Amino acid sequence: MNGRGLDSAAGVARPEAVGPAEPLFSLRDVGYLYSGRQTALDGLNLDIWPGERVVLLGANGSGKSTLLKLLDGIAAPSSGTMRALGCDVAAVAAGQEAFTFHRQVGLVFQDPDIQLFSATVLDDVAFGPLQLGLTADEVRERCDEALAAMEIAHLAGRAPFELSGGEKKRAAIASVLSLRPEVLLLDEPTASLDPRTKWVLVDLIQRLGAAGRTLIVATHELDIVPLIADRAVVLNEQGRVVADGDPATILADTDLLVRANLIHEHLHRHGPISHSHRHDTADEGHYHALEVLDGAPPAETAQTERSGKTRVAPIERG
Amino acid sequence: MTSVVAGRRATDARIGWLEQTVGGITANIEHAIFTEQHARSEGWLQRRDPRAKLIGFLMAIIAASLASSVVGLALLYAATLAAARASRVPFGFFVKRVWLGIPFFAGIVVVPAIFFVPGDRVFDLALGPAHLAPSWNGLAGAVLFVSRVGVSVSLAVLMVVTTPWADVLKSLRALRTPQVFVLVLSMTYRYIFLFLHTANGILLARKSRVVGRTSGREQRRWITGTMGNLMSRAFKMSNDVYAAMLARGFTGEVRVYSTYRMRAADWLALGATGAFGVAAVLASRVAA
C-alpha cells in the first residue's frame, strides 16, 4: 500500500474559522423533508469534532445518506440550524462559500456510477482538482497520488463501465481523495461488495482514519463498525438519533439494535421449546433466547451457555 | 376461432419481434461502442495523438469530398487500407463494415440520377410508354458519389475504431469545441452505457418472468411503462450526478483535463496526411 495519498491529508490546514473548542459540524434540531413532506431527518442534535471517526448506523431509509448530503453542504436542512467548518450549511448549499467548503469536505456516494461520471477514471479523479483551478502539473500530481493510494494507477485510462464493483469503489474514493479533503464522508462504502473486496476497503478506510482525517461513514454493516469507528451514532427509521457513543457499548445493546431495525428478531417453536433468534452480522453471530413451555421446566431454570458464536439464554416471562 | 388464434399469434410474434429488436439494438450498440478492442491494440494509428488523428482524418475527408475523379478517391482509399493494416484493424471487418451498407444507402440517393442525367445511354429498355435508359454520365456520377461516400465513411470508421471514444471526444477541443460540449458529450457517452445496460437488464428480467402468453395490449403497455420508468430513473440519476459534481467543487465553470502531448511523429503524420490529401485532389483533377 502506498500511503502517500493517505498521509498527505494529515497536513491539510484546518480552516481558520474553526478553533480547537469548536466542533467541525454542529447540528441543532435539524430536520429534512423529502419533496417538502416526507420526513427523512427529525430533530437531530449532533456535534462532530476534528479527527473523529464516526459511523452513522441505521436501517435502510433512516436518513443516513441524507445526513451525509447535509454534512457535505449539497443539501440544506428543512429546519433547524447547521454549521460546518465555520460555515452555515444552508448558505453553502445555496452556493455561498461552496468552493472553499468542498475543498475540505469530500463525499463518496453509495453508488459509484453516480460518482464516476466522466469517460475515464483519470478524468474523474482529475475533476475535483480541476475545479480548484490548479495547474496541469498539480492536477497530475494529485491524480497520481490518489490513484496510487487506492492502488488503481493501472486503471487510469479505463472507462468506469469496464471496472468491477470493488474497482469502482476505489476509483470513487480516489476521485474524492484528489481534493485532499480534511473531512471524508463515505456512504455505504462496503455495500454490494464481495467479502474480499469489502475487507480490503475496510483496510483502506482504517488507513484513511489513521492518516488524521475526520471520517464519517454511513453503514448498516455492524461487523465493520468496531474496525473503522471510535464513535457510533444510531438513527432510527424516523430519522432521529437514538444512541450516540462508544461503538462497543452500542453494539452490545441488542435491544437498541433491534429497535433500530439493525438486527432481526424472530421466534421458533419446537414442541414445548421456543427459541427467539436475533440475527446480526457482528462477531457474536446470532443470539438465542430459550424458553421452555407447557409443563417443561420453567424458563428461569433453563441453562445459559455460550458455545462458539451462539449464545443461549432464558427469556424473561412478562 | 381459428382466425382469432391466428390473429393472436401474429400479435405475439410482432411484440416478440419488437422485444427482440429492442434487445438486439441495445446489445449491438453496447458491443459496438464500448468494446473498443481495436482501439486498445498496439498499432500505428493507436500510437498517434488523438488530436493529430482527428485533424488528419478531417483533412483526408475534405480531400475525398474535393476529389473529382475515382483516381483520387482510389489513392485515398489505398492509403486508408494501408493505415488500417498498420493499425492491426482486421481487413475483412473493416471493409465489410463499410461496404456492406454504403452501396445500399448511397445507392438509394443516387439511383434516380443514373436515369435523369443526359448523355449516351448504356441501354434503352422500352416498358410501354416509359423507357428504362441509364446514361453513361449518370452511371459515372453514381460510381463517383458512392466511392466518395465509401472513402469518407472508411476514414471516419478507421478513426473511431482506432481511438477510444473518450479520446475522440476530448480531441474535439483541438477544433475549439467549447469545453461544456466536450463535458456533456463525455457524460452522455458514459451514461448511454448505463442506460443500455439497464434497458437490457429490464428486458431480461421480464423475459425470465413471463411464462405464458400475454396480450398485445398488455405488452404494449409494458413497453411504454418501461420507457417511462427509464426516463424517471435517468432524471433521478441526472440530479444525483449533478450533486456529485457540486460535491467536488463544480461551480458551473467547465474544465476538461487533457494529458495529450504532440510528438514529432504526430506532427510528421499530420503533415504527411495533409500533403497526401492535396496530392490526391490534384491527381483527381488531372485524371478528370
Q: Tell me if A102 and B237 make a contact (CB, 8 A cut-off).
A: no
Residue of A nearest to B244 (CA): A115
Could you tell me the pLDDT band of residue A55, with boundaries at 50, 70 and 90?
very high
Q: Tell me if A179 and B164 make a contact (CB, 8 A cut-off).
A: no
Examine the domain organization and report whether A246 and A163 are in the same domain.
yes
Q: Tell me if B187 and A117 make a contact (CB, 8 A cut-off).
A: yes
How far is B261 from B274, CA to CA, in rounded Å? 20
In chain A, residues 180-219 whose CB comes closer than 8 Å to chain B? none
Could you tell me the pLDDT band of residue B93, with boundaries at 50, 70 and 90?
confident
Chain A neighbors of B241, CB-CB under 8 A = 114, 117
Lowest mean pLDDT among A241-250, B112-121, B260-269: B112-121
B162-173 per-position pLDDT tens digit: 998 888 888 888
How far is B259 from B252, CA to CA, in rounded Å? 22
Residue of B nearest to A103 (CA): B249
Long-range CB contact pairs, A240-244, < 8 A, 24+: A240/A41, A240/A42, A240/A43, A240/A44, A241/A44, A241/A45, A241/A46, A244/A46
Last residue of a domain, one of A217, A243, A258: A258
Q: Tell me if A126 and B249 make a contact (CB, 8 A cut-off).
A: no
Chain A neighbors of B245, CB-CB under 8 A = 117, 127
Q: What percent of chain B has pLDDT over 70?
A: 90
Number of domains chain B contains: 1
Examine the domain organization and report whether A20 and A76 are in the same domain.
yes
SS (H, E, C) A41-61: EEEEEEEECCCCEEEEEECCC
Mean of pLDDT over chain A:
80
Residue A3, pLDDT > 50, answer: no
Chain B neighbors of A126, CB-CB under 8 A = 257
Number of domains chain A contains: 2
A65-103 per-position pLDDT tens digit: 999 999 999 999 999 999 999 889 999 888 888 888 888
- Chain B residues interacting with chain A (CB cutoff of 8 angstroms): 34, 164-166, 169-170, 186-187, 189-191, 193-194, 197, 237, 240-241, 243-251, 253, 255-259
A69: domain CATH number is: 3.40.50.300
Output B14 or B204, whichever has higher pLDDT. Answer: B204
Could you tell me the pLDDT band of residue B281, with boundaries at 50, 70 and 90?
very high
User: Which alpha helices (H) appear in A94-194, and where do they start and end?
Assistant: 98-104, 112-115, 121-131, 136-149, 165-177
Q: Classify burial at B127, counting beta carbons within 10 Å of its beta carbon; exposed 0-12, middle 13-18, buried 19 or more.
A: exposed
Give yes or no for a contact between B199 and B26, defined as CB atoms under 8 angstroms apart: yes
Examine the domain organization and report whether A254 and A269 are in the same domain.
no
Could you tell me the pLDDT band of residue A57, with boundaries at 50, 70 and 90?
very high
Examine the domain organization and report whether A143 and A275 are in the same domain.
no
Give yes or no for a contact between A137 and A73, defined as CB atoms under 8 angstroms apart: no
Output B1 or A44, whichever has higher pLDDT. Answer: A44
Residue A316, pLDDT > 60, answer: no
Q: How far B36 CA sits from the closest chain A CA (Å)? A: 11
How far is A240 from A258, CA to CA, in rounded Å? 15
Q: Suggest the residue from B192, B257, B258, B259 to mutate for an interface test with chain A (most A CBs closer than 10 A).
A: B257
Examine the domain organization and report whether A239 and A276 are in the same domain.
no
Examine the domain organization and report whether A160 and A237 are in the same domain.
yes
Residue A18, pLDDT > 70, answer: no
Examine the domain organization and report whether A42 and A172 are in the same domain.
yes
How far is A59 from A234, CA to CA, in rounded Å? 9
Could you tell me the pLDDT band of residue A282, with boundaries at 50, 70 and 90?
very low
Output B215 or B34, whichever has higher pLDDT. Answer: B215
**Taking CB atoms and an 8 Å cut-off, how many pairs form between chains A and B?**
96
Chain A neighbors of B233, CB-CB under 8 A = none
Residue of B nearest to A93 (CA): B246
Q: What percent of chain A has pLDDT over 70?
A: 77
Give yes or no for a contact between B159 and B57, defined as CB atoms under 8 angstroms apart: yes
The residue count for chain A: 318
Give Cα separations from A5 to A108, A147, A176, A213 (angstroms): 16, 8, 11, 12
- Report which of A121, A28, A18, A32 is spatially closest to residue A78, judged by C-alpha positions: A32
pTM: 0.74
Output A227 or B20, whichever has higher pLDDT. Answer: A227
Looking at residue A276, its pLDDT comes to 66
Output B25 or A250, whichever has higher pLDDT. Answer: A250
- Residue A122 CB neighbours (<10 A): 25
Residue of B nearest to A130 (CA): B255
Examine the domain organization and report whether A13 and A70 are in the same domain.
yes
Q: Tell me if A161 and B193 make a contact (CB, 8 A cut-off).
A: yes
Please name the residues in contact with A228: beta carbons below 8 A apart, sequence gap of 6 or more. A53, A55, A202, A205, A206, A209, A215, A217
Looking at residue A288, its pLDDT comes to 52
Examine the domain organization and report whether A253 and A293 are in the same domain.
no
Chain A neighbors of B190, CB-CB under 8 A = 116-119, 159-161
Domain of residue A276 covers 264-314
Looking at residue B199, its pLDDT comes to 82
Examine the domain organization and report whether A25 and A169 are in the same domain.
yes
Residue A185, pLDDT > 50, answer: yes
Residue A292, pLDDT > 60, answer: no
Q: Tell me if A114 and B237 make a contact (CB, 8 A cut-off).
A: yes
Examine the domain organization and report whether A41 and A168 are in the same domain.
yes
Region B196-216 average pLDDT: 78
Could you tell me the pLDDT band of residue A280, with boundaries at 50, 70 and 90?
low
Q: What percent of chain B has pLDDT over 90?
A: 27
Give the highest mean pLDDT range of A271-285, B35-49, B134-148, B264-278. B264-278
Domain of residue B94 covers 2-287
Examine the domain organization and report whether A269 and A231 are in the same domain.
no
* DSSP code string of chain B: -HHHHHHHHHHHHHHHHHHHHHHHHHHHHHHHHH--TTTTS--TTTTS-HHHHHHHHHHHHHHHHH--SHHHHHHHHHHHHHHHHHTT--HHHHHHHHHTTHHHHHHHHHHHHHHHS-S-BS--EEETTEEE--BHHHHHHHHHHHHHHHHHHHHHHHHHHTS-HHHHHHHGGGGT--HHHHHHHHHHHHHHHHHHHHHHHHHHHHHHH--S---HHHHHHHHHHHHHHHHHHHHHHHHHHHHHHHHTT--S-----------HHHHHHHHHHHHHHHHHHHHHHHH-
Could you tell me the pLDDT band of residue A232, with boundaries at 50, 70 and 90?
very high
